[in-house]
Structure 1
Amino acid sequence: MKILVVDDMPSMRHVMMHMLTNLGYKNPDEASCGLQALKMLRLNNYDLLITDLHMPNLNGEQLLSKVRGDKKLCNLPVLMVSSEDDKAKIVELIASEVTGFMVKPFNLSTLKKQLHWIHSNRNIA
């Protein structure tokens, strides 16, 4: 499975990459912002996008909108990660067709459960 991890904080990207590697996912890619991620998504074939919600320039919600509006990318599973605790915002993201949502801080078990749910419900490798 080819995964792209997007977060403007290098430490969070590092933690996510380490967790994914521990779960057996080989060589996930990373991007430091939504704009970089969008370019990478259009150039490569990814099976999953894991993105932070709050980022400068192109935030996670805007990135999700661009992904869902792109014929090539519209079916890509998107796992949103955020410290957001506003229930209305989370409901709004779900309405925007986010595949999954994790609240920071999260642990390896939470990530594993989200990935399992996405595998089971989206039929991805």
Structure 2
Amino acid sequence: MRMPTAIKLHKASKTLELHYAPDERYCLDAEFLRVHSPSAEVRGHGNPVLQHGKLGVGLSGVEPVGQYALKLIFDDGHDSGLYSWDYLYRLACDHDRLWAEYLAELERAGKSRDPHESVVRLML
């Protein structure tokens, strides 16, 4: 289990900063954390539900859950995901790959990160 040595919530930049060692620090933005929530709402009980329109979402709070996880509270009302220490570390280490996969999935689904935008595809 990789438990961070320090956790900082930066509301203005909408990021969660995780420190693991003096030279190991990660900043994860709220949108990334929101679309990768481990909640049943997002995981879909085995059939993941693609999250879209989450551009600009922020974190309004972070609460420890025992000695094993964090509960992240998002300003869009989502607060049901418990991010275990191992899951947070995996998100941090695999950020670039996971983000690229998410963007590709949005593209395939014809969805947008922008909550005020609807993607229209013309079939010519």
TM-score by length of 1: 0.28
Q: Return the index of the structure with the highest Cα Rg.
A: 2
Higher helix share: 1
Tell me which protein shows more strand as a share of its residues: 2
TM-score (structure 2 length as normaliser): 0.28
